[in-house]
Amino acid sequence: MLKETLINATEAGAAVLKYYFNSKNLKISNKEGVNNLVTEADHASEKAIMETIREAFPDHFILTEESGEFKMDSEYKWIIDPIDGTVNYAHGIPLCCVSIGVEHNGRMVLGAVYNPLMGEFFIAEKGQGAWLNGEKIQVSSKKTVMDSCFVTGFPYTYLDMPNGPLDVFNRFIRKGIPVRRLGSAAIDLCWVASGRFDGFFEHKLQAWDSAAGFLMVEEAGGKVTDFKGAYYSPYQPAIFASNGLIHEEGLKWINDKI
């Protein structure tokens, strides 16, 4: 019932996303910060997702981007991004999705990422693998960073930190290594899981950005850590996800140890 509810909730949010997409009357506002957009579709998608979850599991903990935490004394937590890639969505760019992760006793056990505009539904289950539209997926087989294609994202507010996002990006592209920026971390991670990209790095994410996607990569045979190579938690900001074969070398590039 848990997996079925996850699928139903993801589809409910995606139906809203699709309904409002490219609407000329879409209401858009800005949250705190630069280009931190939210639309009426985000709120409507969140509402549809939460109603579906609560109907099946009224006692589960919910964490969602737009409304925050709904704390419950439960072993289960649903981590929801009703529209990941809102800036894309608001500009009519179809690189956006619903992303939902399910955590049990602090460990991610299920994840779903659905982009209805491209017809791609990714789902992962702990210990069981990852799928795209019902077909099992796996990470790429590239063995070196120089042969790889990466994807990344940039925070809109740059912190004064050494080895920041532009520094790392600059290091890769000056050596001719392709690095893309799609604008949706959840899609980035799913595309690593499906072998389209060989690695993804980002300095600053929230739990709802990566909760479903990082499980997708792990279940497709890849590896996900922080920038130090340590265990990844979606509650800390930095992430490096790869096919596993390039992971150690990729960390050296990210940390300027080449």
Q: Which single residue is written with the structure tokens 């990714």?
A: 122
pLDDT tens by residue, 35-70 = 556 678 889 999 999 999 999 999 999 999 887 778
Q: What is the pLDDT of residue 23?
A: 80
Contact 96, 84 (CB under 8 A): yes
pLDDT on residue 71 = 87
CA distance 14 to 252: 38
Task: Please tell me the least confidently modeled range out of 22-26, 125-129, 141-145.
Answer: 22-26
pLDDT digits (tens, 9 = 90+) for 163-214: 999 999 999 999 999 999 999 999 999 999 999 999 999 999 999 999 999 9
Angle at 143 between CA 140 and CA 146, to 5 degrees: 105
Outline where DSSP puts E strands in the chain.
28-30, 37-39, 61-64, 68-70, 76-84, 97-104, 107-115, 120-125, 129-132, 135-136, 150-152, 179-180, 199-202, 223-225, 239-242
Q: What confidence tier does 253 reach under pLDDT thresholds 50, 70, 90?
A: very high
* 3-state SS class at 224: strand
In this model, does residue 159 exceed pLDDT 70?
no
Phi, psi (deg, nearest 5) at residue 108: -70, 130
Give the per-residue pLDDT at 35. Answer: 53
Residue of 122 and 162 predicted with greater confidence:
122
- The pLDDT confidence band at residue 27, using thresholds 50, 70 and 90, is confident
Please tell me which residue, 155 or 254, carries the higher pLDDT value. 254
List of domains in the chain: 2-136 (3.30.540.10), 145-254 (3.40.190.80)
Angle between helix 2-20 and 40-56 (nearest 10): 160
pLDDT value of position 67: 77
Residue that the structure tokens 């739990």 belong to? 207
Q: What is the pTM of this model?
A: 0.94
d(CA 134, CA 119) in angstroms, rounded, equals 12
Q: How far is CA 174 from CA 79, 93, 197, 200, 249, in A?
A: 37, 28, 19, 18, 17
Mean pLDDT computed over 4-10:
98
Query: How many Cβ atoms sit within 10 Å of the Cβ of residue 126?
Result: 15
- pLDDT tens for 75-88 read 999 999 999 999 99
pLDDT over 70, % of the chain: 94
> 186: number of CA atoms within 13 Å, CB side?
31
For 253, the token pair is 């590039």
Q: Report the pLDDT value the prediction gives residue 28, as an integer from 0 to 100.
A: 63
Q: Check residue 46 and give its pLDDT.
A: 95
